[in-house]
Amino acid sequence: MIVPMTKKKLIAAAPASARKRRLNDPPRPKASITRNFTFLDDFYASIPTGVAMREAYPVYLLGLTLNQKDLQELRYECLTDGPDDHNTDCCYIDTELGEAFVIQAYVSDTWTKTEAPSNKADDLLTSLTWLLHKKPAEIPAAIKQKAKELQSALAAREISTLHLLYAHNCRETGKNVASSLEVVARNAAQLLNNPDINVAARQLGLDSAQRLFNSMTKNIVVEDKVHLKVDASFPEKGDCWSSVATTVDGSQIRDLYAKYGDDLYSANLRGFLNMLGRKTSINSRMMDSVEKAAPNFWVFNNGITLLTKKISTNKGTLTLTGVSVINGAQTTGVIGHSKADQAAKIRVPCRIVACNDESIVRDIITFNNAQNAIKSSDFRSRDQIQVRLAADFDTYGISYAHRRKGVTRLSSNAVLFDSVAAFVCAFHGDFQTAARSKRKIFEDDELYNRVFRRDVTVEHVYLIQTLADAIGAIKDDYTAKEKGGGLKELDKKCFGLLRHSPSKYFLLSVIGGLDEHVLDTSVADRYSWKVRKPFLKPDRSGMVARWKQVVDAVIPLIAGQTGDDPYETVRSAKVASELPEKIAPLIAAIKIPISVSMLPIRDSTECV
């Protein structure tokens, strides 16, 4: 993420291949458009130098969906970016959350279209077919690794929801795209043929993107006064909040959904997952309980939690000043899609919370909304070690983002706590946790204390952050070479290694294990390896360039040990732990020439 640059400066700073792609990007939208869609200014400020807008746009929208700030890391993990991707622009798999995202992107040359082309929505099925049902030998390199990862996660029952997203820069006022996506969802469910997996197909156009953006800046978008008739209510009060527990009939929830739609989910980032085939959708099974078991709905369902600014009670009527669903988005959506007579028969448990303290509201949303478990790092944001690291980074003019601050755009040199925690974990040998269970770092006291030792320093964290940056930059270099047709056989093996999602953590672990060979000295404690203070600067490019020489020298040695297919290699803790010992003799054999690559890091770091 960078501070915005003028187009002229941005093009001049980019490599030749990136400059060519930049020139094919649509012009920046006029002020009349950005006034209505304020997220666009934030989007343009987030585009990394040299990255095409058309490439960055779907990644940014996925970041909004996931509430993930580290777009560089997200780009590394999700972007397929190949000439033969068969309509798979992005594929992101989160086995911890149990979700997978397949994205088809369309970026129009103008920003005033009322609807995106519906045929591009249909391409999501083409993408899914290639990812799931083609023989490995037929799948092109651009998506082969993602296909293996997705198939493996599905086979291991690690995915409960598959999101098919059509990301575009058009309005959503037409009905053609929505109709196409309904068909896509049904066909995708048949293609999966697994009743345990929910399939959600939806578009992320200008309107949806703005709603997601608003949800990060404004917890309550619906500011109207809402009146709910109840038979009884039970109040509860805290220092900064008040609450009412009650039961409402389903028709009132249905009316709210009919009037406000997705705006009800401003404090619930994921929103409603849509209604799909009766046998394949979790929400469809909930609809069955509405239609067939209305008298028991109250005991079958956990109900909903509403956030409001103020609650007033008068003769059986609760008046809410503003409303947002912070838990129970699926329940609200299912009732919203039910028939009026069916909704009137059900009773829904409902808890209403009024609070105007922003810090408390953030915690209420986090702890009430299970979808926000992705931010388990929030539990450590006030930890003394994190507060100290933030203060120490600040002395170097570097922002250490250990606490969420809504949608505020982070500075270009910010170090993100969520991401760097996994980098540190991998660098110190536990790449499996970093790649597959990174939330565990924040939830498990023993693991957290092992990763963030009390003596951990910003100089050590910066060392690892810049190595991670360098690995990402090397992948970009290989991508550019591939597009230019300049990949040799060894280059293809190296790029094949980097294309796997866990590859960054795998390489961090292996290079961390090569510490003594990189430094050409004994290392008693890897945490003592630090960047020397003169080299610790807000602009990380200097240290990244130094690390790139090391990574460039080591990756061919690693690729040479991983066989023709690195898929299993980059998932093996055993291989990661053994590789440094296998590579060490190779480094020793070419000690003089490889030392040239190691010298920049030896000059700029130390073990003290």
The pLDDT tens digits for 101-112 are 999 999 999 998
Looking at 341, 372, 403, the residue that finishes a domain is: 372
User: Residue 14, SS3?
Assistant: coil
Task: For residues 98 and 58, give the distance between their C-alpha atoms in angstroms, rounded to a whole number.
Answer: 21
Task: For residues 570 and 11, give the distance between their C-alpha atoms in angstroms, rounded to a whole number.
Answer: 35
User: Which of the four pLDDT bands, split at 50, 70 and 90, describes residue 265?
Assistant: confident
Task: For residues 147 and 129, give the distance between their C-alpha atoms in angstroms, rounded to a whole number.
Answer: 10
Task: For residues 212 and 223, give the distance between their C-alpha atoms in angstroms, rounded to a whole number.
Answer: 17
Question: Alpha helix locations (H) across 243-313?
Answer: 250-260, 282-292, 297-300
Calculate the average pLDDT of the chain: 84
Judging by beta carbons within 10 Å of its beta carbon (0-12, 13-18, 19+), is residue 384 exposed, middle or buried? exposed
User: Within a domain: residue 461?
Assistant: yes
- Residue ranges making up the domain that contains 499: 381-607
Contact between 243 and 236 (Cβ < 8 Å) = yes
Over range 342-357, report the average pLDDT.
Answer: 92
Helix (H) or strand (E) run with residue 66 in it: helix 53-66
Over range 271-278, report the average pLDDT.
Answer: 46
User: Within a domain: residue 75?
Assistant: yes
> In the numeric block, which tokens belong to residue 463?
């060392």
Task: For residues 158 and 98, give the distance between their C-alpha atoms in angstroms, rounded to a whole number.
Answer: 6
- What confidence tens digit (pLDDT) does each residue in 478-491 have? 888 888 777 888 88
Contact between 62 and 74 (Cβ < 8 Å) = yes
pLDDT at 444: 87
**Are residues 110 and 168 both part of a single domain?**
yes
- What confidence tens digit (pLDDT) does each residue in 176-213 have? 999 999 999 999 999 998 888 989 999 999 999 998 88
- What confidence tens digit (pLDDT) does each residue in 565-575 have? 677 777 777 77
User: Within a domain: residue 459?
Assistant: yes
Least confident window among 3-17, 344-358, 436-450, 589-603: 3-17
**Are residues 292 and 274 both part of a single domain?**
yes
Over range 393-415, report the average pLDDT.
Answer: 77
Number of structural domains found in the chain: 3
User: Residue 88, SS3?
Assistant: coil
pTM: 0.73
**Are residues 351 and 385 both part of a single domain?**
no
Q: Which of 435, 437, 475 is nearest to 80 (CA)?
A: 475
Dihedral over alpha carbons 402, 406, 412, 417 (to 10 degrees)? 20
User: Within a domain: residue 163?
Assistant: yes
User: Within a domain: residue 334?
Assistant: yes
User: Within a domain: residue 154?
Assistant: yes
Strand extents, DSSP E, 362-418: 400-401, 415-416
**Are residues 190 and 150 both part of a single domain?**
yes
**Are residues 357 and 413 both part of a single domain?**
no
Looking at 313, 338, 372, the residue that finishes a domain is: 372
**Are residues 225 and 285 both part of a single domain?**
yes
**Are residues 558 and 538 both part of a single domain?**
yes
pLDDT at 418: 86
User: Residue 233, SS3?
Assistant: strand
**Are residues 356 and 387 both part of a single domain?**
no
**Are residues 362 and 393 both part of a single domain?**
no
Contact between 131 and 147 (Cβ < 8 Å) = yes
Question: Burial letters for 272-291: b for 16+ Cβ neighbours within 10 Å, e otherwise?
Answer: bbbbbeeebbbbbebbeebe
Residue type, 545: A
User: Within a domain: residue 1?
Assistant: no
Looking at 212, 231, 249, the residue that finishes a domain is: 212
Strand extents, DSSP E, 440-589: 529-531
Task: For residues 288 and 278, give the distance between their C-alpha atoms in angstroms, rounded to a whole number.
Answer: 8
> In the numeric block, which tokens belong to residue 77?
């993990």
**Are residues 440 and 368 both part of a single domain?**
no
User: Residue 87, SS3?
Assistant: coil
**Are residues 197 and 225 both part of a single domain?**
no
Contact between 331 and 286 (Cβ < 8 Å) = yes
Contact between 166 and 202 (Cβ < 8 Å) = yes
User: Within a domain: residue 2?
Assistant: no
Question: Distance of alpha carbon 569 from its chain centroid, rounded?
Answer: 24
**Are residues 426 and 573 both part of a single domain?**
yes
Triad 63, 424, 544: Cα angle to 5°: 75
Judging by beta carbons within 10 Å of its beta carbon (0-12, 13-18, 19+), is residue 348 exposed, middle or buried? buried
